[in-house]
Structure 1
Amino acid sequence: MAGPGTFSDEPLSPAGRLFLHPKTEVVIHCIARAKNPIDIDAAKANVKSSLMASHPRFCSLLVRDENGFEHWRRTRLDVDQHVIVFNNKLDKSGKFMDGSENQGFSIEKDDEMAVNQYVAELSVSSPLSTDKPLWEIHLLMAHKCFVFRIHHALGDGISLMSMLMASCRTASDENALPVMVPDKTGEDKGGKRKGLFWLLAALWGLLKMGWFSFVFVMEFLVRIFLVCDRKTVVSGGDGVELWPRKLATARFLLEDMKEVKKAIPNATINDVLFGVVSSGLSRYLDHRTPNALHEGLRMTGVAMVNLRPNPGFLDVGNSEARWGNRFGVILLPVYYDKAGNNPLKYLKKAKKMVDRKKNSLEAYFSYWIGDLAMTLLGPKYASLLNHKLLCNTTFTISNMIGPLEEITIAGNPISSLKVSTSSLPQAITMHMLSYAGRAEMQILVAKDIVPDPEFLAKCFEDALIEMKMAAIGGQ
């Protein structure tokens, strides 16, 4: 085998190196719950015949040369090392029970709580082994669950979800690949504006982009080095990434979110999500610390933004596909506020802020500054900057479009698809994925700070319901 530094080894990208540093190491978890019992042989055969078994990232070991630089080195993939089978059931603490205790444990809600807690335990205490390519699939046989564990150094959520979807088929056609929710390509945007009006609008757009970019980039830098969110009962901080975790699920219907966004012209699902988060956090803080907070208290979120032109899945079989970690972040402030009789005001505030962010280059700047920091300072100091940003904010959130219709894995229909990541210094991280008309948001919390994530999830669900009622009532 060729040694380090030869043509057979491929250097890691700056983002890949960042996600391998202890301060910023992240593993992506995906829970796919099947409708039927899992066939182990079929699952392994599916992996062996998929693009996963031949994709360079999934068939490469992480190695370091004599200077400490990381490289990918191709190796022979042994699927048996990556597919790990667990036969016993889990209790509510996420621990495996022996066979004598398995009787009578079949209530669906308890079943989901057990799997969630199993993944929460993985989020803190179980790094991926570097003796093999950095991914695993855990088969929880008694719970009919696939748990995919994939290191963030291999790629971001869009890349990894694209790889997973390339290994799946639609439930309605066993030969068809899953498709994402249709984008708006080709929709009539009202025609092209011409002449002086178009020129003035373009100039005004450039001025707004320049101004908002300057303001938000300055805020981004100040947030890293100087300013921290005011401490509340949901605040994390340095070292919190090592604290025990709990994981809960908030469920939404996409039709409800679409109904709400109709209430505000040009609103998007992301606007609705951020409004729901703002309202839900306000509800939760009212529950934990009634009458203790002032109106307008800011809680800053770190939101992930895909920087690829196409928002959907990648064609992972195409060598030109923009694989890897190609995302930026924006700072998303939400404010503690009692809605009173107008729950839609959370959506209005969220839309106003998100529109300004869209008119800026903040997400691109965050990507460029991270790349520059890695190049000039190396992973140690770049990871410290990233860690500092997370310590100075309150939560992380992402939203990803999933398959439009139900899918199958190894011929087994999937009833639920959810994603989360390993723990961060924040006490709350939220990752939402849409799937077949539904959206499920995984809420990972430091359980010593947020002991009741199920109630927090209900706060988010109730916030959307109230917004929907207000939207319907206003029509």
Structure 2
Amino acid sequence: MSIEKDEPLTPAGRLFVQPATDQIINCVLGLDRPVGIETTRSVITDSLLIKHPRFTSLLVKDNHGRERWKTVEIEIDRHIIFLPNALGNHDDDDDDDETIVNDYIADLTVSCPLSTDKPLWEIHILAAHKCVVIRLHHALGDGVSLLSLMLTMCRKVSDGDKMPTIEPPSSSRSNHRRESGAGRFWKLLKTTWFTLIYMLEFFMRSVWVRDKETAVRGGAGVELWPRKLVTAKFSLDDMKTVKSSVVNTTINDVLFAVISSGLSRYLEMHSRKPPREGIQMTGVAMVNLRPSQGIQEITELMKKNSRSRWGNKFGMMLLPIYYHKNGSDPLEYLKRAKKMIDRKKLSLEAFLSYQIGYFVMKCFGAKIASLLNYRIICNTSFTISNVVGPKEEFMIAGIPVTYIRTTSSSLAHAITMHMMSYAGKADMQILVAKDLIPQPEILAKCFEDALLEMKEAALKIGENPSKFPQNSG
């Protein structure tokens, strides 16, 4: 990939470097055994990472105050932080590796920006805890592309000569039957209606409408509060079992059902008074609008004179869930989640939110665009993302990777959730403002229990389908 010297940032990249919406991705790789600094340096030196223009460029400003990328000579040792000794309180038996690493990352999310006197990435080696933390500024690119670039340094455990792969998301169009003229007209009508409704809500959220107060809602200034990070662990097989219980359901539908049920459970247990039935909690999800072909895309981008464009191109979706007391059928959460997400996917909300952001950025500048995004965050309740990782186990420098998890800088939300799948598992990092949610382990347990309860209900459907007929939602 060839770029001109001092290339300008993309609109989304400019958004991610504004103080109110500054975002750093913190990705942790668990290792089967510790890795040394010399091995790490060797892997980076031989990788595509230091050949990629974004990873060898400084963030600078021109005479007009616009952010640009300026290519420099990279000093690898400045990007490697080696911590050989164990962290945490060794006298506490409950301070296991996972807790210590999560606490370390939680501190990074609120108090440790990346230095702008070097390219915006770092690798922290936590040798005693058998993991590495890769810190990447979101202005460098979107999550899928950055993950794909990272995986070029890895090889499959089953075949040491091949890189792990990420399966591109399947197109939902392939599941649709050919529609009649009346069907296409009805679909167009629904698309228009849902788009108008959701864009009106989007506008109101950016100005004055906000979620009602609950035990899990943050607001302006909460992004500066101390954080705590915990991990909710799911089995992809369990999620697929639940997925099979309702026709045409996706893993994202299951994830949102789990979040809806889990938050309802948590509020029921930890609210000073029971919330009003049906109270809304709105999530914010970023939708990648740039087609991605995974690692194959990286190869194309690195070619000279490639027409492929690196960077961020994303829209925003507002995803509402509602508090409900646990009823007799836990799959009701799934049916409600599917109905809501199907309507969202039918609309043009993500595409138009990107276009509006681009227009505001171009006409009024990055500060105003950042302020509008910040207002939306302040007026909603949580952030959610889901990234599909490799299906097969992989290794780096010959060391098998046991898990891969990710989270980002703290936002004005009290809860930020990032799920990533890997080798049959799905780990969700739950970053909370610990003054509002002092025991996030309970919240993680609520999510895990919600999935298991839905799985049991789904298995009953499989045993007796006539008694529990499938419902398309």
Hey, what does 1:261 align to over in structure 2?
243
Q: 1:175 to 1:381 in 2, by over 3 A?
A: same
Aligned length in residues: 455
The amino acid of 2:454's aligned partner reads M
Letter in 2 for 1:216: Y
- Alignment match, 1:294: 276
Retained in 1: the 8 A contact 2:235–2:424?
A: yes
What's the Cα RMSD here?
A: 1.9
The question of whether the paired residues in 1 share the 8 Å contact of 2:144 and 2:292 is answered with no
Aligned runs of 1:107-146 on 2, under 5 Å? 110-146=96-132
Shift of the 334–153 alpha-carbon distance from structure 1 to 2, 3 Å rule, reads same
SS in 2 for 1:468: helix
SS where residue 300 of structure 2 aligns?
A: coil
Once the two structures are TM-superposed, the CA of residue 397 in structure 1 deviates from its matched residue by 0.2
TM-aligned CA distance change 1:187 to 1:106, over 3 Å: farther
- Please, what TM-score do these two structures have when normalized by structure 2? 0.92
Q: Out of 189, 197, 216, which is 1:207 matched to?
A: 189
Question: Residues of 2 paired with 1:305 and 1:82: CA distance?
Answer: 30
- Aligned residue type for 2:123: I
Distance in 2 between the 1:16 and 1:287 partners? 40
Q: Which residue of 2 aligns with 1:357?
A: 344
Aligned match of 2:14:
17
Residue 68 of structure 1 deviates from its aligned partner by: 1.4
Deviations 1:15-38 (A, max 9, x none): 111111111101000010100121
Q: CA offsets, 1:74-128, max 9 Å, x none?
A: 1111111111101111116xxxxxxxx6xx7887x71100000000000011000
Deviates more, 1:376-385 or 1:310-319: 310-319
CA contact (8 A) 1:312 1:401 kept: no
Gapped regions of structure 2 (runs ≥ 5)? 302-306, 463-473
Q: Does 1:39 align with 2:36?
A: yes
Asked if structure 1 preserves the Cα contact closer than 8 Å seen for 2:168 and 2:293, the reply is no
Q: Read off the aligned partner of 2:146 and give its amino acid letter.
A: L
Question: 1:184 & 1:26 partners in 2: Cα distance?
Answer: 28
SS at match of 1:43: helix
Give the Cα separation in 2 of the matches to 1:181 and 1:86. Answer: 34
Say if 2:168 and 2:292, in contact at 8 Å, map to a contact too.
no
Deviation for aligned residue 1:188:
7.0
Name 2:469's counterpart in structure 1. Answer: none
- Letter of the aligned partner of 2:24 in structure 1? V
State the shift of 1:164 in Å.
0.9
Report the equivalent of 1:218.
200
Q: Is the 8 A contact 2:148 2:166 kept in 1?
A: no
Query: Where in structure 2 are the equivalents of 1:164-175 lying within 5 Å?
Result: 164-175=150-161
Determine if contact 1:329/1:362 at 8 Å carries over to the other structure. Answer: yes
Please give the residue correspondences for 1:391-430 in structure 2 after superposition, counting only pairs within 5 Å.
391-430=378-417
Structure 2 CA distance for aligned equivalents of residues 186 and 456 of structure 1: 32
Q: For 1:139-158, list aligned pairs within 5 A.
A: 139-158=125-144
Q: Pairwise mapping of residues 76-87 of structure 1 onto structure 2 (< 5 A)?
A: 76-87=73-84
Rounded to whole Å, the distance in 2 between the matches of 1:366 and 1:53 is 34
- Tell me what 2:233 maps to: 251
With over 3 angstroms needed to count, the CA separation of the structure-2 counterparts of 1:321 and 1:408, relative to structure 1, is farther
Identity of aligned pairs, percent? 53
1:468 corresponds, among 442, 455, 461, to 455
User: Structure 2 residue aligned with 1:434, among 397, 417, 421?
Assistant: 421
Segments ≥4 residues shifted beyond 6 Å: 104-107, 185-188
The offset of 1:440, in angstroms, is 0.2
Give the Å deviation of 1:308. Answer: 2.8
The answer to whether the 8 Å contact 1:83/1:139 transfers is yes
Give the alignment's TM-score, normalised by structure 1. 0.92
Q: Deviations over 1:417-446 (max 9, x none)?
A: 000001001110000000000000000000
What corresponds to 2:313 in structure 1? 326
Contact 1:51-1:317 at 8 Å conserved across structures: no
Distance 1:372 1:69 in 2: 16
1:439-469 Cα shifts (integer Å, max 9, x gaps): 0000000000111111111100000000000
Output the CA distance in 2 between the equivalents of 1:276 and 1:186. Answer: 22
